[in-house]
């Protein structure tokens, strides 16, 4: 069994630190951590053809603010080549993986995947409230069920591209799934799935990821390119 270095997740940590610096003006006590993450991600970029495409995109986005460094700049070229390569674990597959459409648009400014969204459109009734049936999107073309996180990511993506016509009614659909917050159970937020799938109460408890991406949609915030619009992603 191979080793998983979780490059994409570490890249998200660097993205968070980049945002922290952009809002506070300084990394403060996180300078050493930021430098270590940059060095490590540059090193891991040498093996980018062995990393999944969404991880490669995360790495590219996290390292982009450091492109004045020649070593980083060289690796950014390699990471982009890896993402758009053919028949590698790192290569984009817009027709099969909806994460790739999101990353392609919000990291690399490529809207090719918008033309393949029908591959992922599904209709499902919510177990939490059987009166609610929505049209939203699966994470993979082979799945027959809706993934709320990728659907909220896609909503953010089409919003930042000002291309709502690609996903008509998606905001209204997802807003039917807001769970009420109370002191004894889940906080206000979105579930991960619409049915009992993957983990206990996946359809009835608020999960951070889909909730965060829905908030990013309301704020028009691109977590992969802080402060940038899609014309210069």
pLDDT per residue over 49-80, tens digit each? 999 999 999 999 999 999 999 999 999 999 99
Computed over every residue of the chain, the mean pLDDT equals 91
Average pLDDT over residues 159-174: 93
More confident residue, 40 or 231: 40
More confident residue, 91 or 159: 159
pLDDT at residue 231 greater than cutoff 50? no
At 85 the pLDDT is 85
What is the distance between the alpha carbons of residues 122 and 104, in angstroms, rounded to a whole number? 22
CA distances from 72 to 34, 44, 166, 175, 225 (A): 14, 12, 35, 40, 16
Per-position b or e across 137-166, b if 16+ CB within 10 A of its CB: bbbeeeeeebbbbbbbbbbbbbbbbeeeeb
pLDDT digits (tens, 9 = 90+) for 102-155: 999 999 999 999 999 999 999 999 999 999 999 999 999 999 999 999 999 999
Instruction: Quote the strand ranges of the chain, DSSP E.
Output: 121-125, 133-137
Model confidence, pTM? 0.91
pLDDT at residue 222 greater than cutoff 70? yes
What is the distance between the alpha carbons of residues 206 and 221, in angstroms, rounded to a whole number? 21
Taking the CA atoms of residue 17, residue 50, residue 3 and residue 14 in that order, the dihedral angle to the nearest 10 degrees is 0
pLDDT at residue 24 greater than cutoff 80? yes
At 180 the pLDDT is 84
Q: Which tokens hold the place of 202?
A: 């996946």
What is the distance between the alpha carbons of residues 16 and 224, in angstroms, rounded to a whole number? 10
pLDDT digits (tens, 9 = 90+) for 174-197: 999 999 866 554 468 999 999 999
């Amino acid at each position: 069994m191979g080793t998983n270095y979780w490059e994409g997740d570490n890249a998200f940590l660097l993205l968070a630190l980049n945002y922290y610096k952009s809002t506070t003006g300084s990394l403060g006590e996180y300078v050493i951590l930021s430098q270590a993450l940059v060095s490590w991600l540059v090193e891991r970029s040498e093996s980018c053809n062995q990393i999944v495409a969404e991880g490669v995109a995360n790495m590219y986005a996290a390292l982009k603010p450091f492109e004045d460094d020649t070593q980083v700049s060289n690796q950014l070229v390699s990471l982009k080549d890896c993402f758009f390569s053919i028949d590698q674990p790192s290569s984009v597959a817009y027709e099969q993986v909806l994460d790739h459409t999101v990353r392609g648009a919000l990291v690399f400014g490529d809207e090719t995947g918008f033309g393949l969204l029908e591959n992922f459109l599904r209709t499902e009734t919510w177990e939490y409230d059987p009166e609610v049936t929505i049209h939203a999107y699966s994470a993979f073309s082979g799945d027959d069920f809706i993934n709320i996180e990728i659907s909220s990511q896609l909503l953010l993506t089409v919003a930042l591209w000002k291309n709502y016509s690609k996903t008509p009614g998606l905001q209204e659909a997802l807003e039917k799934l807001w769970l009420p917050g109370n002191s004894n159970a889940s906080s206000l937020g979105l579930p991960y799935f619409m049915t009992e799938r993957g983990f206990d109460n996946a359809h009835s408890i608020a999960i951070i990821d889909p909730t965060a991406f829905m908030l990013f949609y309301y704020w028009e915030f691109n977590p992969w390119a802080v402060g940038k619009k899609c014309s210069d992603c």
